[in-house]
Amino acid sequence: MAHRVLIPTPLRPYTGQKDAVEVDGGTVGEVLSSLTTSYADLRRHLYADDGKLRHFVNVYVNDDDIRYLERDATKLKDGDVISIVPSVAGGAPVTSASDATELTNAEVQRYSRHLILPEVGVDGQKKLKAGSVLCIGAGGLGSPAALYLAAAGVGRIGIVDFDAVDSSNLQRQILHGTPDVGRSKLQSAKDRLSALNPEVRVETFETRLTSANALDLFRGYDVILDGTDNFATRYLVNDACVLLGIPNAYGSIFRFEGQASVFATKHGPCYRCLYPEPPPPGLVPSCAEGGVLGVLPGVIGTIQATESIKLILGAGSTLVGRLLLYDAWGMRFRELKLRRDPECPVCGDNPTVKQLIDYEEFCGVKPVAAVPGSGVPETTVEELKARMDAQAPFYLLDVREPHEYQIARIPGSTLIPLGQLGSRYGELPPASAGKEIIIHCKSGVRSAKAVNLLKEHGIEAKNLKGGILAWIDRIDPTQAKY
């Protein structure tokens, strides 16, 4: 298949002053190869000594830069036009940062499997050494990501977290071990990463990420790796990255499914281009409520680390403009195309958000009155226990799912999952029975919804504050929390 290749002015002396030539090939790589075979003098100007396309040579198929397609492997259709478009660069004499960063003999040995990859090589490894990534969270995503970044020799790794290690973290947060339970996650992370690679500088920030501190924390890092577990922080990370022009290696997980992308690059989309509005509070359950397959963040977190490394190297095809979807249960990867939204309030052509805002308010999780669970009649686990002990009449309704009921339960409760309550409320005792209805779930969020649902049907009920977790904490510690 012959394709038309447009030749820029500086290269026309090598094509007999022709501004376009016809060359055969099914892919961009094949076309360029036959082009430089027919016009041999082109070769040294298009390709560097290592055989790679010089990085100031841009190749387009119609209007698309092949860096954003499949590079050399980009397949060509009949009628596709290939253009070679120069970038022009230069500058004053300078000792660049990468010249100053030399590799020691020990580093040459440690990173030898990188160094023999022509795509990374000594130059790439120096870039990694001079590079920096800030991980937001040392949890499910941050754990595998930070481990691989440290192993890869990223010179400076920052971590923002304020939690302590809980035994329920260990099923997936592989930075931490059993002896670390109760320790600060940052201390545990720092020990683990330093043991893995003492050359890496680990910077820890024991703080909640807020609109007040995000810009100061992010500044100076090459990549921000978003391992957050809530929408308010995710929008905060996104907006801060856009405002500072720092790419965001994004990942998120829920139950068996994960997503990853790269946001906030110069011409790429941001998280708000994908999700302009946060979901209504409570609609999307957290991992604590919905569960998560422990190995899932291992897959997504390592994808985020991969993207961070390519961003530092300035090479490879990153997930800019693509949302990668992973289904661990069906074992399938899918990909969605993303485009920067010119109307985006943060990264659009006429941005309206020019500084960080109140993200809890934006996500509707503030003021307190909007939190599900507040404003409904409540009772405490201590009052419930007192009623049981006094054998006072009441009806305890559990609105969790059957598999949760199997893990732990409050004695005497009746299970009707929240999703079935709308059709099964007739099973509840009538008001004439004189039994007060008390509803519980895991932590009190779903049961508050149940109280409101019953109210719509004219049934009065009370929410058990803190749910079965409070019951286990304060009344029956023999049962396991989940």
Partner 1 sequence: MSETSIGVPTETAVARTTTLTIEALQAIREHGAETFPYECCGALIEHEGVIVEAFKMENTTSGGAARRFRIGPDGYRLADKRARDIGGSLVGFYHSHPNEPARPSAYDLEHAWPNLTYVIISVRAGVPEDITVWHLRDDRSGFDKGELKWPTGS
Give the catalytic positions in this structure: 287, 441
Choices 10-18, 153-161, 169-177, 433-441 (CB under 8 A): range interacting with partner 1 = 10-18
CB of 73 to partner 1, least distance (A): 20
User: Which among 473, 470, 450, 474 has a CA at the least distance from the CA of 460?
Assistant: 450
CB closer to partner 1 out of 10 and 182: 10
Q: How far is CA 45 from CA 74, 86, 114, in A?
A: 21, 11, 27
Task: List the x/- string, 69-108, binding to partner 1 by CB under 8 A.
Answer: ----------------xxxxxxxxxx-x------------
Interface with partner 1, residue 60, by CB under 8 A: yes
Choices 55-63, 74-82, 157-165, 194-202 (CB under 8 A): range interacting with partner 1 = 55-63
Contacts of 302 (CB under 8 A, 6+ apart): 144, 145, 148
Residue 360 contacts residue 366 (beta carbons within 8 Å): yes
Interface with partner 1, residue 206, by CB under 8 A: no
| DSSP, residue by residue, 210-259 | -TTTHHHHHTT-SEEEE--SSHHHHHHHHHHHHHHT--EEEEEEEBTEEE
CB of 267 to partner 1, least distance (A): 10
Choices 9-17, 125-133, 228-236, 394-402 (CB under 8 A): range interacting with partner 1 = 9-17
CB of 68 to partner 1, least distance (A): 12
Candidates 56, 275, 329, 333; binder of partner 1 (CB under 8 A) is 56
Candidates 24, 64, 65, 199; binder of partner 1 (CB under 8 A) is 65
How many C-beta atoms lie closer than 10 Å to residue 79's C-beta?
Answer: 9
Choices 11-19, 31-39, 366-374, 433-441 (CB under 8 A): range interacting with partner 1 = 11-19
CB of 52 to partner 1, least distance (A): 13
User: Which among 227, 239, 192, 191 has a CA at the least distance from the CA of 359?
Assistant: 239
Number of residues in contact with partner 1, rule: CB under 8 A? Answer: 25
User: Within positions 238 to 277, which residues make up the interface with partner 1, using CB under 8 A?
Assistant: 266
Interface with partner 1, residue 368, by CB under 8 A: no
The tokens of 99 are what?
A: 């010249």
Torsions phi, psi of 54, nearest 5? -60, 145
Beta strands in 293-385 (DSSP E): 322-327, 332-337, 372-375, 378-379
The three-state secondary structure class of 136 is strand
CB closer to partner 1 out of 47 and 205: 47
CB closer to partner 1 out of 96 and 420: 96
CB closer to partner 1 out of 263 and 394: 263
Interface with partner 1, residue 13, by CB under 8 A: yes
Candidates 1, 2, 8, 216; binder of partner 1 (CB under 8 A) is 8
Candidates 58, 187, 286, 479; binder of partner 1 (CB under 8 A) is 58
Residue 463 contacts residue 376 (beta carbons within 8 Å): yes
CB closer to partner 1 out of 60 and 111: 60
By CB atoms closer than 10 A (0-12, 13-18, 19+), residue 11 is middle
> Could you give the residue ranges of the DSSP H alpha helices within 249-331?
271-274, 287-290, 296-313
Torsional sign, CA 63, 66, 70, 75: positive
Residue 174 contacts residue 128 (beta carbons within 8 Å): no
Interface with partner 1, residue 12, by CB under 8 A: yes
Task: List the x/- string, 270-309, binding to partner 1 by CB under 8 A.
Answer: ----------------------------------------
CB closer to partner 1 out of 56 and 329: 56
Q: Are strands 378-379 and 257-263 parallel, antiparallel or unpaired?
A: unpaired
CB closer to partner 1 out of 10 and 290: 10
What is the DSSP secondary structure assignment for residue 198, as one 8-state letter?
T
CB of 92 to partner 1, least distance (A): 4
User: Cα–Cα distance between 227 and 222 in angstroms, integer?
Assistant: 16
User: Cα–Cα distance between 462 and 411 in angstroms, integer?
Assistant: 17
User: Cα–Cα distance between 146 and 193 in angstroms, integer?
Assistant: 8
CB of 77 to partner 1, least distance (A): 22
CB of 81 to partner 1, least distance (A): 14
CB of 11 to partner 1, least distance (A): 7
| Residues at the site binding partner 1, with contacts judged by CB under 8 A | 8-13, 41, 44-45, 56, 58, 60, 65, 85-94, 96, 266
